[in-house]
Structure 1
Amino acid sequence: MAAGELFDMSGEVALITGGGTGIGFALARALAINGATVALAGNEPDSLQAAVEAIAACGGRAISVALDVRQDEMIVSAFDQVENALGPVGVLVNSAGIAHRDKATHLSRETFQNVMSVNVDSAFMVAQEAARRMIRDGRSGSIINVSSILSEVPVRQVAAYGTSKAALSHLTRCLALEWAKHNIRVNEIRPGWFDSALTDRFLKGPAAKVMASQTPLGRLGDFRDLDGAVLLLASKAGVYMTGSAITVDGGYSVNH
């Protein structure tokens, strides 16, 4: 099969949580440029609208859907809206997430639980809704969770975030095992250091140069560096992959 056919996403409907900005938008754009119709889900209308327009400018097709991933009724409503407008979701990208930086001795229970709620609980609930509908309709599908190299590499003052991403990684494998019989593939992407709104607090001042210097390829990630990973996991090219993790970090994790 030629590369163009392997990675062709034509006819696929993809829902991307956190799709209005940062990594979520980058992954949505890659899918859209390669033929998928994408639904960008989030709770910031202005960002979502700008993202829809940016994808249209690249020749892709996108809609926006209001979604606070912490609200179960909004999850169901978002899938209903996408199905009604575009058809059943065949690709889900769980990219919505929050980060927190503080000394572990200063972390409150509320803060820790909030990070876990968005990064783990909500990712599970969104994946569950996607899988329920795929199983109901007898359709195969691809679920892609956006984790982090910090799921395995410990870094000071990010205990809540790192723990949440480690949990998401294990959740990915558990769901992959359980849903394989339905031909629903569940994989994850582990980005390294990318300059985004989520990492602003980590990469302020000299930190960006420090992290780049600790990365064997000598730079921070560019969002387009993620295109290949998401296309592999979402397309026919990755049809025999489930429970897998693709690390995109310029070698940072093997250097630590």
Structure 2
Amino acid sequence: MGELQGKVALITGASSGLGERFAEILSAEGAAVALAARRTDRLAALAERVTKAGGTAVTVKMDVTDIPGIQAAVAEVEQKLGKIDILLNNSGVSAQGKLLDVTPDDYDFTMNTNTKGAFFVAQAVARGMVARKIEGRIINIASLAGLRVLSQLSVYCMSKAAVVHMTRAMAMEWARYGINTNAICPGYIETEINRDHWQTEGGKKLMQMLPRRRVGDVQDLDGLIKLLASPGSRFINGAIITADDGMSAF
């Protein structure tokens, strides 16, 4: 039996990449997982894999830019699985370009998902935790980009910097209710979305600038996810943890 046996975890952005991996890891640790994303077709395939592996999974459609929809999705999860003990706040998007070329639509696209959406998902889940007196775990997925400026990704960096500060604010205010809120700041990690980029000349050049000339795999965050979701993280609150193979040290 895993450390999360009997717990319920909600994972946003679970349809691909890191979110998909997070769902598999939490399920392997014993949690019943609620898989949330806009692309429900991908969620169904993931839920089937989790179930075949002996886990419990449900899918829920959630667009984090739709605030009433967030509340409805959280209520649906609670109806299907019960109280939510763990939130893995993972939904995120990015728009690339120079600041002089950013349009209001570009800005809203990034900030509404990465910052506003992340906040209101956490708020909806935390309200349930407070009402049920749950010692909850909220894990916000920020980014190395929230700690330093990356070329042509300035709005994305701004959005993730807000997630970093949001995490600290939540940790301070919600600690009295037994909720631990922490953030992980991953560096460059290969997923299906960016896999082709690392084979381009630009991708190869960027890789040569990394401390060990490599990018990470989705499995490289497994240990942190298990720790921060577990009872063993009881004294870890408000932590902003980099997982970037040393990139932030330079």
The unaligned stretches of length 5 or more in structure 1 are none
Confirm or deny: 8 A CA contact 1:30 1:231 kept in the other structure.
Answer: yes
RMSD: 1.7
Q: Aligned match of 1:107 in 102, 106, 121?
A: 102
Q: 1:36 aligns to what?
A: 31
Structure 1 stretch 136-145 or stretch 193-202: which is displaced more?
Answer: 193-202
CA contact (8 A) 2:185 2:240 kept: yes
Which digits, 9 at most, give the CA deviation of each residue in 1:4-47, with x for residues without a partner? 8xx71111100001011111111111111111110010110111
Alignment partner of 1:186 is 2:175: no
Pairing 1:151–2:146 present: yes
SS in 2 for 1:220: coil
Equivalent residue, structure 1, for 2:46: 51
The structure 2 residue matched to 1:134, chosen from 129, 141, 144, is: 129
Matched ranges for 1:81-100 at <5 A: 81-100=76-95
Q: 1:53 to 1:217 in 2, by over 3 A?
A: farther
Are the structure 2 counterparts of residues 38 and 253 from structure 1 closer, same or farther at C-alpha, using a change threshold of 3 Å? same
Q: 1:108 to 1:204 in 2, by over 3 A?
A: farther
Relative distance call for 1:34 and 1:207 in structure 2 (3 A) is farther
User: TM-score with structure 2 length normalisation?
Assistant: 0.94
Residue 22 (structure 2) aligns with? 27
- 1:147-167, CA deviations, whole angstroms, 9 ceiling, x for partnerless residues? 000111211100110100001
Q: Report the TM-score, using the length of structure 1 for normalisation.
A: 0.92
Aligned pair count?
250
Distance in structure 1 (CA, Å) of the matches to 2:165 and 2:173:
13
Q: Distance in 1 between matches of 2:191 and 2:148?
A: 19
Stretches of structure 2 that go unaligned for 5 or more consecutive residues are none
Q: Distance in 1 between matches of 2:236 and 2:32?
A: 22
Give the structure 1 partner of residue 115 of structure 2: 120
Q: Contact 2:135–2:178 (CA<8 Å) still a contact in 1?
A: yes
Deviates more, 1:52-61 or 1:148-157: 52-61
Letter paired with 2:53: C
**Matched residue, 1:226:** 221
Q: Deviations over 1:75-107 (max 9, x none)?
A: 111111111111100000110111111111110
- Taking the aligned partners of 2:102 and 2:39, their CA distance within structure 1 comes to 27
Instruction: Tell me what 1:215 maps to.
Output: 210
Is 1:160–2:155 an aligned residue pair?
A: yes
Please tell me whether the aligned partners of residues 101 and 202 of structure 1 are also in contact (alpha carbons under 8 angstroms).
no
Identity %: 36
Amino acid in the other structure paired with 2:67 = D
Tell me if the contact between 1:98 and 1:198 (Cα under 8 Å) persists in the aligned partners: no
Please give the alpha-carbon distance, in whole angstroms, between the structure 1 residues aligned to 2:195 and 2:66: 26
Q: Is this contact kept in 1: 2:191–2:217, CA < 8 A?
A: no
Distance 1:134 1:109, change over 3 A: same
2:68 corresponds to which residue?
A: 73
What is the aligned counterpart of 1:173 among 168, 177, 180?
A: 168
2:245 to 229, 241, 250: 250
AA in 2 matched with 1:235: S
